[in-house]
Structure 1
Amino acid sequence: MELTAKEQPIQIPSEYNFAAEVDRYASAHPDKAALLIVEDSGESVTHTYGQLVNYANRIANAFTELGVTRGDTVMVLLPRGLEAYGTYLGLLKIGAIILPGSEMLRAKDIEYRIKHAGVKAVIAFPPLIPEINTVRSGCDSLRYCLVFGGADEAGWTDLNPLVDKASETFATVNTRADETAILSYTSGTTGGPKGVMHSYGWPYAHLAIAATQWLGVQESDLVWATAAPGWMKWIWSPFVSILGKGATAFVYSGRFSPTRYLKLLESFQISVLCATPTEYRMMAKVDKLEQYKLDRLRSACSAGEPLNREVIDTFRRAFNILVRDGYGQTESTLLIGTFLGMEARPGSMGRPSPLVKAAIIDEAGNPLPVGEVGDIAIDRSMIALFQGYLHDPERTARSYRGNWYVTGDQGRMDEDGYFWFEGRADDIIISSGYTIGPFEVEDALVKHPLVAEAAAVASPDPIRGHIVKAFVILKDGTTGTPELVYELQDHVKKLTAPYKYPRKIEFVDELPKTNSGKIRRIELRQKELDRS
């Protein structure tokens, strides 16, 4: 069955730059708080919209002086904080292409992205300098290695002195809405990560629906969206949804702790929260949850993977707040969700956004009847859909089935148009909201001298939703031991981002394969499901 969506309520203008949107708001409200940054120590600092835009202007001028210009691709590897917000705005101001990167990326991940995207400049924070130094000599396109503070190594430029002396005046470039603004990498089941291209017009559509009708951000709100820079979700919520609505972003730079999160929500009187299912699950397990007084919290959203009904019920009992699910991808904006004012059906993904015509389709691209499981698909005319995968027309083409963009997830739809998630249609692993390609984990494992072959799959986990489980064949004469498990886990952490490491490893003598020799991960996934 196909769900006919409302007529698309917006039309993206031919020229659009999100930074100009923030400029206009800051000009009218220079003293309004834009960022409230809280350190792990409890120390806090507030930056107004006027201060943030002036800082972004200085960064834009510093980039221009260095020679980073419109259309250049810049990789940003910064943690939560003022520098991330200022850098993203500064790069948009000059019309550059932002390549977000997690601060957890390792040398191999960084090298792949630099070479694949032809990155001209990398902006990092000091701990990542050694990772980049190990690969930079082989990256021909890379001309600038920039850091905020601590640049005492050859070939690195400290941005702080350049920014400090730069002008606070900068005229934001009038970019076309169809120019590429964001190049965000996402894991694939085979080969390297895919470079997802989004246009300068993408934030316009995201603001109209996701920020307004799902998060429900209002100008008076203090909004805590917990996603970290380096992920498309950070651009979704902490960046576009908050600054685009003139609200105040609550930025916590400390480590996650469920009790710490609850205390912060209470003491700072957060009014809008957007967190991962894992964070909600762990907070829901805190003893005497109702002791925390979250009186100002009026909107709570979850995204990244399905949220358990038990957790939704717990938050409703303890705080009289409905945690509303939302579904989208790196390739899109919010696609399906429980929007403000909508009847909630716990366990459901919700209903399609007004921007979206969605359906459950079969392998031929035909919409399926109510209740039947098939591929979740979106009409390819959706205005906030990605521009394609960089340098990969074949994988771009495989994302479509006729007029449908196929998400790679499977689900069903009920008689009222609510979508229900059934699972991944491919081998992608989603753990604690992180998207992990099995190939990346397997590639790291087989680089260990004692590993002959490996397969990685999702294994059910009550806290993280799923974790990475690796089935490993060792080379002849090698015995699997607990010590070797730790060694392999540490080996993967060193070769790729730590969140990708296999939390479980099982040593086996053989792996299930097709006649052509491909690993049948589906059998291994089913094995894990049967055990759970």
Structure 2
Amino acid sequence: MCSTVVTPTDRVQPDVALPFGGWSAIVRDMSEEQSTSEPTRAFREARDFLLAHREDYETAYRDFDWPRFDRFNWACDWFDALAVEQPGVAALTIVEEDGEVNSLTYAEMAERSRQVAGWLTGAGLQPGDRVLIVLGNTIPLWEVMLACIRAGAVMIPATTLLTDADLADRITRGGVRAVVTSSSEAPRYEGIADHCIRVGIGGPVDGWLDYEDSRGYDGPVPEVDTAAHDSLLLYFTSGTTSQPKLVEHTQVSYPVGHLSTMYWIGLQPGDVHLNVSSPGWAKHSWSNVFAPWNAGATVFLCNYTRFDAEKMLQVLATYGVTTFCAPPTVWRMLIQADLSAVEIQIRECISAGEPLNPEVIEQVRNAWDVTIRDGYGQTETTAQIGNPPGQPVKLGSMGRPLPGYSIALVDPTTDEVGDDGEICIELAPPPVPLMRGYRDAKELTEESMRGGFYHTGDVASRDEEGYITYVGRSDDVFKASDYRISPFELESVLIEHPAVAEAAVVPSPDPVRLAVPKAYVVLAAGREPSRELAGEILQFCRDHLAPYKRIRRIEFAELPKTISGKIRRVELRADEAAKVDGGERTEHSYDEADFKQA
């Protein structure tokens, strides 16, 4: 049965001239058998089961089974079916910084992606070819991604902020056959992509295909019968201590696997979903492509040069956003504004990227009467652990295993399964969303999947009710005076101080204690670094932390981050070690010994 879809009255509908004579021609070509194929039915049954039990975690977790396929193509088997059922619902809406609104309905997105797939195939793209996609949040990004799925091509999404060396590395190690990027960036590819099909968006470039020409294409459209195990995505992970790895996903691991993400977010047909994420990173595909389109929701984007909390609040209210996902950095900036100043329609609030501090959750709950629900996953997987809708949320916990995942906490030393240890996924059998492996890195793949588990490298603890609390990366947890210190626990206390907007805690080398906790602090708007404020914050921590956890050094500074918003503690640790070794001390760095009360 088709889902009932409600289109919000304030949703912007585009005025776009359709190629090929309109979507109705495609509908006529789709027989009843095609629109209700076995893959479509199996996927729908799994999706509808999760939708039906969106607030019944026990049933959803106990009875959900991943649909298994021999053949599957998400664009043809699922997106096209939705486009027939809800042709007029907005699939994608983007609000530009100047207020311009661009949008495509499900019918228009399906037809444009068919057109682009045919055009790219006509240009020489073959099934299995790898396509480097380097675009911002612009409508062609979604058209090209859906077109690649149709054509059986392998996508390599990448951020627009890559260096020239990064681009060369991705083209070489990724075995790239085609490049799609903005025309203004074309000069950066000279000498490294000459062998590729090159597509420029935003104007003609000598030697490149002009994306605008795809709008005049009226030839055959590929409908590639892809095997479920065929490659679909290659993600270069953001390396911090080593060369980025290539995470390989299949035609089912992300498209089907993100049913768990849909369930965690609480997405429903007709939702307007805003996710703050940069293209090129896995979270963008999570919450800006697969999860919302699995649900039949609208992907909603707000483009901006520099994040402005006040403007974001106005967008949330004006465009009727119903589900909102943002990283902790954005949430911390939002609570600096007056959350109660706007009337919102948000039903679900989500945070991802790294654990969200309880203080932020409380402030949003007080203002909006909505609880931010945390979750956990990786580029290598979909959402594994989370707080789904309707379930009690324990502040500081990222929730319980999501449907389709069996999670074990494995002691890194003894390999025993218990209530403390590395977050691992049981591989008997491997869940559908798990990556195929690290491309061209057999040893890394085997190491990550040893002993019957996929090893995440993250450490957590589980309480008697099954709630899992993040402790940190296995290389973020450190010892001070022989006590294990979780940076997140200390950071959660720091952010409760009204002057602290963000904080990161790392070990600072100490001749007596091996290391002591040092806090790098970003101040809230209107607050300035000073000796007095440093003393006040240190005293606050002293009052709220056990003696062995107490922060003994503090520095006011900006925090280095990845493009996806994660704090690069590895960089802070290295800088701190170098400063201590060299006897250096910055202007806004303080030690507890500087204050009489210490």
Q: TM-score range by the shorter chain?
A: 0.7 to 0.9
Deviation at 1:369, TM superposition (A): 3.5
Secondary structure in structure 1 of the residue aligned to 2:324: strand
5 Å-filtered alignment, 1:237-256, equals 237-255=287-305, 256=307
Deviation at 1:30, TM superposition (A): 1.9
Q: Which amino acid aligns with 1:289?
A: L
Distance 1:102 1:301 in 2: 23
Alignment deviations for residues 56-82 of structure 1 (CA, whole Å, 9 cap, x no partner): 111101110110110000000011121
> Does the alignment pair 1:386 with 2:443?
no
Distance 1:222 1:8 in 2: 26
> Does the alignment pair 1:197 with 2:254?
no
Name the residue aligned to 2:381: 332
Distance 1:9 1:91 in 2: 28
Distance 1:309 1:409 in 2: 20
> Does the alignment pair 1:147 with 2:200?
yes
Deviation at 1:98, TM superposition (A): 0.3
CA contact (8 A) 2:66 2:431 kept: no
Find the partner of 2:113 among 37, 56, 73: 56
Distance 1:68 1:53 in 2: 19
Pair 1:470–1:151, CA change in 2 (3 A): farther
CA contact (8 A) 2:258 2:433 kept: no
Deviation at 1:367, TM superposition (A): 3.8
TM-score (norm 2): 0.69
5 Å-filtered alignment, 1:25-174, equals 25-133=82-190, 137-138=191-192, 142-152=195-205, 154-161=206-213, 163-167=214-218, 170-174=221-225
Distance 1:210 1:8 in 2: 14
CA contact (8 A) 2:66 2:432 kept: no
Q: Which amino acid aligns with 2:200?
A: V
CA contact (8 A) 2:411 2:418 kept: no
Distance 2:416 2:161 in 1: 40
Q: Which runs of 5+ in 2 are unaligned?
A: 1-57, 478-493, 510-559, 582-588, 594-598
Name the residue aligned to 2:232: 181
5 Å-filtered alignment, 1:293-372, equals 293-294=343-344, 296-363=345-412, 366-370=415-419
Alignment deviations for residues 208-242 of structure 1 (CA, whole Å, 9 cap, x no partner): 3221x211111121111122221111111111112
Name the residue aligned to 1:376: 423
- CA radius of gyration, larger in: 2
Residue correspondences, number: 451
Pair 1:375–1:84, CA change in 2 (3 A): same
Find the partner of 1:13 among 55, 69, 80: 69
Name the residue aligned to 1:261: 312
Q: Which runs of 5+ in 1 are unaligned?
A: 429-459, 472-491, 513-526
CA contact (8 A) 1:12 1:205 kept: no
Distance 1:393 1:297 in 2: 44
Superposed CA RMSD in Å reads: 3.3
CA contact (8 A) 1:359 1:367 kept: no
Secondary structure in structure 2 of the residue aligned to 1:415: coil
> How many percent identity over aligned positions?
31
Pair 1:226–1:181, CA change in 2 (3 A): same
CA contact (8 A) 2:408 2:418 kept: no
Pair 1:108–1:352, CA change in 2 (3 A): same
TM-score (norm 1): 0.78
Q: Which amino acid aligns with 2:266?
A: G
Alignment deviations for residues 383-429 of structure 1 (CA, whole Å, 9 cap, x no partner): 2100000101111112123011111111111111111111111369x
Distance 2:158 2:468 in 1: 31
Pair 1:320–1:100, CA change in 2 (3 A): same
Name the residue aligned to 1:232: 282
Distance 2:574 2:439 in 1: 34
